[in-house]
Amino acid sequence: MSDEKLLVTASPHLKGPDSTRQIMWNVVLSLLPVVAAALWYFGPSALLVILAATAGALLPERLLGNKGSLGDGSAVITGLLLGLTLPPGLPIWMAFIGGAFGIAIGKLIFGGLGQNPFNPALLGRAFLQAAFPVTLTTWPVTGGNWWNLRGDNLAWPFMSEAAERAALAAQGITLPDVATGATPLGLMKFEKTGSGFSDLMLGSTSGSLGETCALVILLCGAYLAYRGFLNWRIPASIFLTVAVFSGILHLTNAARYPDPLFMLFSGGLMLGAVYMATDMVTSPTTSLGSWLFGGGIGVLVVAIRMWGGLPEGVMYAILLMNGVVPFIERATQPRVFGRSRVKVLS
Amino acid sequence: MPTIPLNFRHGVHPPELKELTAGRQLRRLPYPDELVLPLRQHTGKPARPIVRVGDRVMRGDKVAEADGWVSVPLHASASGIISAIGLWPHPDGSLAPAIRIAVERYSLHETRARVIPDWRGLSKEQLVAAVREAGVVGLGGAAFPTHVKLVPPEGEHVDYLLVNGCECEPYLTTDDRTMVEYPERVQLGIRIMMKCLGARHCLVGIEKNKPEAIRAIQRTLPDDLDVLVMPLRVRYPQGAEKMLIKALIDREVPPGKLPVHVGAVVQNVGSVATIAEAFETGLPLLERIVTVTGDGVRRPGNLLVPVGTKLRDLLDACGGLTPGARKIVLGGPMMGAAVSDLNVPVCKGTTGVVVLDDRHSRSVEILPCIRCGHCLDACPVFLNPQLLGALARAGRHEQMEEHDLATCMLCGCCSYVCPSNIPLSQMFQVSKAALTKIKAARS
């Protein structure tokens, strides 16, 4: 009696406009201007490092991930983001390993997309920082001939620089020396010198590929937030806490603590707040939870920068807060319609 | 008059898609050769048949008696012979007991002579009894017996009668046509119901995408009663009782409580008009307005359909299906049920028949949850569908109950927004059924 042609499915029979693939590829799209800015400041080195990190991320996703999971775009995001956190002069084999570690150990081991507790790109970077601490903190200065590589990008894996130079010299090749300098945060922490605000804003300072041009990152983030692909509460709460917390410190001792604007626009804060902390998988789903999560990151960033051993603390701040997301969510479940708020808290 | 914008929080705004039928006048469907009246057309206990096979019934005759308080009688919507009483495909997908009537051909379908009482002279109790006898149920889809809502529980007081003309489901224009074509009937129904309830205020909530309906109701407002038209922002699921109460009088009905707990009674505008009709003509609920629409039907329209008409007859009257038709939905596309059997009859709660074509019925790939949180931002009753979905997947139904699964009204907002196409509301429906089973086994 029933018509063979007719489908029976559960309601709703209409579907909203967003899809996971679309969200992921839009994030990739929005990262392209940031990549372009990195290219503008650091030349071909930027492209090499970012491509190597992305290739490193894609390889394990292809080999070990679920069938067709490359198409969801999330591995590309991890690769691009990791590349943007690395110094321009990094040997690309290190970038590749970082990407592979981030995806394999940071994501696939937990079950792939949606299952990982920590941001895979930052986990990859934390791994590199632990494995190659010196290379990861060597920052070439901006400027100079655009075409020059900003470091030993093409270094051979696991070879000391001296040995490599000797091997190359045997073939009649000499490596150029690259001018390096400290990042604004490093300058502030270890040499007590500040940097100009416009330099920070436009990115003409030393630093990781993606931690230089704050303006581009903000614009790209605004696009994602407008499309509803980015939880604006997280960057908003990070910026707010960093500004307020460092503002209070600055007021108590202006000589020791830098002003809030410097704190906001230096280092990896922009990239971290807009792109890393907002990773949907590793941030809270509740709206109050998002505010707490961002606030926690803001406090940790200022604390690590001011009182920690490292000049920069965005990476560890986000990873630490990633770890407490389940607790934040448990404590911030939404108030059910018709029930009083007090009962939720008790 | 509140000056703040009338609203409820969250929800979604799917494409409205009402333009297919919005301006189309009602047309009457010819009587089909056979009518099928399922005994269960309302929430509550099914009706009990009082006719036998072979009996001749006239249009308007009672064929089944209400069984208990939350139940209503059933009437023959055309004259004919009772041909069978037995199982028949029901809109919910099951086989359920139904009375079949072989409709008389070339008949005038006359009704028996009846005395029409003047409603003004009736007491509250008599009014409620008359509404019940007329078989009136909520015509917005849920089909809850209307008379039950007209008798507030002891100790509860009704401040507001809220008339639901939201029609927040996409495609449907049933309530729209009711208000445009029968505004006086709606007003009379409001009068009768306010008397029953002892309510002093009445608000008619209509979404702003129905300007003609807003004007019609506005034009016919009575001078002697406090009745107001409240144009509402277009937002799904505004037509859900709790959402409408929140939007119109800014009160939240607590989980597990009835609207009357916050001093309100909500009635669908179609039910209001049907009550008035019962006191105008003396006839019970015999026909209802059905929107037949969607890209899969050749001539969409708003039809006045005898209850019990089979989908096949209804669709034939609308030019039939297009070759691309893939899915037939009874009700709106957000909460309606898909049916595959064209012998299913139109029931009292059938608001529309939406025929979707290929574009709206493609199968989609389900991806893992990426915890985007869009479902939390969409849930109108502030649940955590993401968490509930994970629990449902793990089969932890009892834990879902602790997270207020009972408050979920299966509106489908979470499924609608989920970018990974996870069928959340379907999972919740399954879990609710599983919980009922678990509880039944325990007791």
Predicted local confidence at residue B100, as pLDDT = 97
Q: Tell me the average pLDDT across B22-29.
A: 93
Q: B242: which residues sit within 8 A by CB, 6+ positions away? A: A337, A338, B252, B253, B259, B380, B381, B409
For residue A212, name the pLDDT band (cuts at 50, 70, 90). low
Residue B122 sits in the same domain as residue B250 = yes
Task: Give residue for tokens 């079949």.
Answer: B100
* Helices and strands of chain A, counted as H and E runs: 16, 0
Shortest Cα distance, chain A CAs vs residue B12, angstroms: 9
- Neighboring chain A residues of B245 at a CB cutoff of 8 Å: none
B329: CATH: 3.10.20.600
Task: Give residue for tokens 């009483």.
Answer: B85
pLDDT score of B378 more than 70: yes
Residue B104: give the domain boundaries.
30-109+288-360
The answer to whether the beta carbons of residues A105 and A123 sit under 8 Å apart is yes
More confident residue, A71 or A25: A25
Residue B79 sits in the same domain as residue B208 = no
Q: What is the mean pLDDT of chain A?
A: 86
Predicted local confidence at residue B89, as pLDDT = 96
How many Å apart are CA B77 and CA B179, to the nearest integer?
Answer: 23
How many Å apart are CA A186 and CA B57, to the nearest integer?
Answer: 93
More confident residue, B358 or B70: B70
Domain boundary among B360, B382, B402: B360
Task: Give residue for tokens 């929107």.
Answer: B291
B175 is a domain residue: yes
The answer to whether the beta carbons of residues B179 and B229 sit under 8 Å apart is no
- Neighboring chain A residues of B341 at a CB cutoff of 8 Å: 1-3
Beta carbons within 10 angstroms of residue A33's beta carbon: 15
- pLDDT tens for residues A285-312? 999 999 999 999 999 999 999 998 787 8
- pLDDT tens for residues A175-188? 666 667 777 777 76
B19 is a domain residue: no
Q: Tell me the two tokens of residue B164.
A: 């639901």
Q: Pairing mode, if any, of strands B264-268 and B160-165?
A: parallel
Predicted local confidence at residue B414, as pLDDT = 96
Written as one letter, the residue type at B187 is Q
Q: Tell me the two tokens of residue A332.
A: 């911030």
Closest CA to B74 of B86, B57, B91: B57
The answer to whether the beta carbons of residues B12 and B284 sit under 8 Å apart is no
Predicted local confidence at residue B242, as pLDDT = 95
pLDDT score of A1 more than 50: no
For residue A204, name the pLDDT band (cuts at 50, 70, 90). low
The answer to whether the beta carbons of residues B269 and B275 sit under 8 Å apart is no
Q: Tell me the average pLDDT across A35-48.
A: 90
Predicted local confidence at residue A215, as pLDDT = 86
Closest CA to B269 of B212, B185, B171: B185
Shortest Cα distance, chain A CAs vs residue B340, angstroms: 5
Predicted local confidence at residue A312, as pLDDT = 83
Check CB contact under 8 Å for A337 and B407: yes
Residue B134 sits in the same domain as residue B245 = yes
pLDDT score of A161 more than 70: no
CB-facing half-sphere around the CA of A281: CA atoms within 13 A = 26
For residue A196, name the pLDDT band (cuts at 50, 70, 90). low
Check CB contact under 8 Å for B338 and A18: no
The answer to whether the beta carbons of residues A126 and A133 sit under 8 Å apart is no
Shortest Cα distance, chain A CAs vs residue B214, angstroms: 27
pLDDT score of A238 more than 90: yes
B368 is a domain residue: no
Q: Pairing mode, if any, of strands B62-65 and B74-75?
A: antiparallel
Residue B316 sits in the same domain as residue B388 = no
Check CB contact under 8 Å for A23 and B419: yes
Q: Pairing mode, if any, of strands B26-28 and B352-357?
A: unpaired
Q: Tell me the average pLDDT across B290-305.
A: 95
How many Å apart are CA A199 and CA B137, to the nearest integer?
Answer: 71
How many domains is chain B built from? Answer: 3
Predicted local confidence at residue A3, as pLDDT = 56
Beta carbons within 10 angstroms of residue B14's beta carbon: 25
B92 is a domain residue: yes
Check CB contact under 8 Å for B338 and A7: yes
Predicted local confidence at residue A67, as pLDDT = 80
* Chain A residues with a Cβ under 8 Å from any Cβ in chain B: 1-3, 5-16, 18-23, 72, 74, 112-115, 228, 231, 280-281, 283-287, 290, 329, 333-339
Of A8, A114, A286, the CB nearest to B376: A286
Give the rounded percent of residues in chain A with a pLDDT score beyond 70.
Answer: 86
pLDDT score of A346 more than 50: no
Ranges A164-168, A215-219, A267-271, B282-286, most confident: B282-286
For residue A225, name the pLDDT band (cuts at 50, 70, 90). very high
Predicted local confidence at residue B77, as pLDDT = 95
3-state secondary structure (DSSP) of residue B132 = helix
How many Å apart are CA B122 and CA B73, to the nearest integer?
Answer: 21
CA distances from A271 to A215, A266, A276, A318, B162 (A): 10, 10, 7, 11, 51
Residue B104 sits in the same domain as residue B124 = no
For residue B361, name the pLDDT band (cuts at 50, 70, 90). low
- Neighboring chain A residues of B417 at a CB cutoff of 8 Å: 16, 18
Predicted local confidence at residue A31, as pLDDT = 94
Residue B229 sits in the same domain as residue B135 = yes
How many Å apart are CA B90 and CA B345, to the nearest integer?
Answer: 7
| CATH-assigned architecture of domain A21-148+180-331 | Orthogonal Bundle (1.10)
- Neighboring chain A residues of B388 at a CB cutoff of 8 Å: none
Q: List own/partner pairs for A163-172 with CB under 8 A and 24 or more apart.
A: none
Check CB contact under 8 Å for A13 and B381: no
3-state secondary structure (DSSP) of residue A120 = helix
Residue B105 sits in the same domain as residue B56 = yes
For residue A171, name the pLDDT band (cuts at 50, 70, 90). confident
DSSP per residue, A65-90: SPTTGGGGSHHHHHHHHHHHTS-TT-
Predicted local confidence at residue B354, as pLDDT = 96
- pLDDT tens for residues A73-132? 899 999 999 999 999 889 999 999 999 999 999 999 999 999 999 999 999 999 999 999
B11 is a domain residue: no
Of A2, A7, A22, the CB nearest to B326: A7
Check CB contact under 8 Å for A8 and B93: yes
More confident residue, A162 or B191: B191
Residue B180 sits in the same domain as residue B247 = yes
- Neighboring chain B residues of A13 at a CB cutoff of 8 Å: 327, 329, 333-334, 336, 338, 354, 356, 360-361
Check CB contact under 8 Å for B340 and A2: yes
B426 is a domain residue: yes
Residue B266 sits in the same domain as residue B170 = yes
Residue B344 sits in the same domain as residue B394 = no
B277 is a domain residue: yes
Domain boundary among B315, B331, B360: B360
Give the rounded percent of residues in chain B with a pLDDT score beyond 70.
Answer: 98
Domain boundary among B248, B281, B314: B281
B2 is a domain residue: no
pLDDT score of B320 more than 60: yes
Check CB contact under 8 Å for A11 and B334: yes
Predicted local confidence at residue B285, as pLDDT = 96
- pLDDT tens for residues B194-212? 999 999 999 999 999 999 9
Predicted local confidence at residue B337, as pLDDT = 93
pLDDT score of A257 more than 90: no
Check CB contact under 8 Å for A7 and B384: no
Check CB contact under 8 Å for B340 and A14: no
Predicted local confidence at residue B1, as pLDDT = 46
B184: CATH: 3.40.50.11540
Q: Tell me the average pLDDT across A206-231.
A: 87
Predicted local confidence at residue A345, as pLDDT = 47
Residue B145 sits in the same domain as residue B220 = yes
Check CB contact under 8 Å for A7 and B372: no
Please give the biggest Cα pair distance in chain B: 65
For residue A143, name the pLDDT band (cuts at 50, 70, 90). low
pLDDT score of B182 more than 50: yes
pLDDT score of B289 more than 70: yes
Predicted local confidence at residue A29, as pLDDT = 95
Shortest Cα distance, chain B CAs vs residue A178, angstroms: 42
Residue B233 sits in the same domain as residue B275 = yes
